[in-house]
Amino acid sequence: MKVRAIVNPSAGLRNPRALAAVQAPPPPGIELEVRRTAAAGHAVDLAREAAAAGCERVIAVGGDGTANEVATGLLGTQTALGLLPVGSGNGLARALGLPLEPVAALHTLLASPVRAMDVGFVNGRPFLNVAGIGFDAAVGHDFHEWGLRGGRRGLWSYLRLGLKRGLRYRPESYRVETESGRFEGRAFAITFANGVQYGNGAVVAPGALLDDGVFDVVVFEQASILEILLATPLLFLRRIDRYPRYRRFPTTRATVVGRGPYHRDGEPEAEAASLEVELRPGVLRVVVPEATLRDPRGPFTPA
C-alpha cells in the first residue's frame, strides 16, 4: 500500500513524537513517504499530488486545520484521508475514535477500513467537522494570533483566551434560514456541525452523523457570560441540547445574514456580511477504526 504522510511542523504539542512515528520503518507491505508543509495551503497541493500519484491513503499529521487542508486536496478522489492528531482540539479525530498517541494512531491508520463521509462548505470552502460564526470564531481568532506570537497552544490556553474574550463579548444580531426552521435575533454563537464535537470532548451536536446527508445548525441564543459558563459542563456531558437557549436545525443548506468573524475547522476567516452553508454527501473517503464503525453511538450510520 502506497501512503504519504503530510506533516505540519508547527502543529500541536506532540509533534516530535508524531514525526518520529511516521519516519520510523513502516510495516511490511507499506510504502510510506513523508512530506512537510512549508506554508499555509501547501498541504492541499501535497495531497493532490499524492492522489494523482496513486497513493491509497494520505495521513494528515497535525490538527484540525491541517486535516482540512489535506482533505481539500483529496475531495472527490479515491484516496482516503487518515488523521494522526497532534493539534489542540482534534475534534474529528476524537469523533472517529482514533488514538491520540502517535504510534498507536499510525498503526490504526494503516490497518483500518475506509468509509465515505459528508463534507460541509461555507461560502464555497470546505469544513470537515465544525464551522461557525460568533463567540467560538472570535476565540479561534484570538487563539490563532496567540500561536503566531509564539504562545503555547493547548486546551488551557484556549480556555484562558475564551474567558478573556467572554468578559467583553457582545452577541451580534443574525438571521438564519434552514430547511427545518429559522432564527432571527442576537446569538452568542452559531455552529455548523457535521461532526459531534468542537474538540477535547466538547459535544455540540449530540447524535450527529458524518454520513447521513445533513448537518446541524446550532444556535446559542444571547445569554450572559455567567449563564454560558454554567452551561459549559453540559458540552462535556453530551447534554448541551438540554440547555434552554440551545436551538438545533438539521438541514442540507443554510443562509446566515449578519457580520462577524467565522471559522472552518477552527481556522479563522475574515468577516463576511453573509454565509452560505451547504453539505455535499459522501465526497471524502476517510480511514475509520473497526471499533468506531461497530459502535451504535458512533459517528456513522450502522452498516
Per-residue confidence at 282, pLDDT binned at 50, 70, 90? very high
154 pLDDT higher than 80: no
Cell, residue 135: 463567540
pLDDT value, residue 271? 85
Bridge pairing between strands 57-62 and 80-85? parallel
Burial of 224 (0-12, 13-18, 19+ CB in 10 A): exposed
Q: What is the model's pLDDT at position 259? A: 84
Whether residue 186 is predicted with pLDDT greater than 80 in this model: the reply is yes
Q: Residue 213: what pLDDT? A: 97
Stretch among 13-17, 107-111, 123-127, 288-292 having the lowest mean pLDDT: 13-17
Pick the CATH number of 125-280 from 3.40.50.450, 3.40.50.800, 2.30.30.230, 2.60.200.40: 2.60.200.40
* Closest C-alpha to 69, from 50, 55, 94: 50
- Residue 147's pLDDT is what? 62
Catalytic residue among 69, 172, 221, 267: 267
The pair phi, psi for residue 250, each rounded to 5°, is -70, 140
Please state, in angstroms and rounded to a whole number, the distance separating the CA atoms of residues 214 and 120: 9
Please report the sign of the dihedral spanned by the C-alpha atoms of residue 119, residue 120, residue 122, residue 124: positive
17-53 per-residue burial string, b: 16 or more CB within 10 A, e: under 16 = ebbebbeeebeeeeebeebebeeeeebbbbbbebbee
Q: Is the pLDDT of residue 249 over 50?
A: yes
Q: Which residues contact 75 (CB under 8 A, 6 or more apart)?
A: 119, 126, 283, 284
Average pLDDT over residues 273-287: 97
* pLDDT value of residue 89: 75
267 carries an active-site annotation: yes
Strand partners, 33: 4
Q: Which pLDDT belongs to residue 87?
A: 74
Q: What is the pLDDT of residue 103?
A: 93
Nearest-angstrom CA–CA distance, 86 and 13:
6
- Each domain of the chain, given as residue ranges in start order, spans 2-111, 125-280
Domain boundaries 2-111, corresponding CATH code = 3.40.50.10330
Handedness of CA 124, 127, 128, 134 (dihedral sign): negative
The single-letter code of the amino acid at 92 is L
Give residue-wise pLDDT tens across range 5-57. 999 887 654 568 888 889 898 899 999 999 999 988 999 999 999 999 999 99
What pLDDT score does 13 carry?
44
The DSSP H or E segment spanning 115 is strand 114-122
Q: pLDDT tens digits for 126-140?
A: 999 999 999 888 877
Question: What pLDDT sits at residue 302?
Answer: 81
Average pLDDT, the chain: 90
CA atoms within 13 A on the CB side of 39: 1
pLDDT on residue 137: 84
| Nearest C-alpha neighbor of 60 from the set 295, 269, 284, 270 | 284
SS3 label, residue 93: helix
Give, rounded to a whole angstrom, the gap between the first and last alpha carbons of the chain. 25
Average pLDDT over residues 71-100: 92
Distance, in Å, from the CA atom of 162 to the CA atom of 248, rounded to the nearest integer, reads 23
Distance CA 91, CA 166 (A): 22
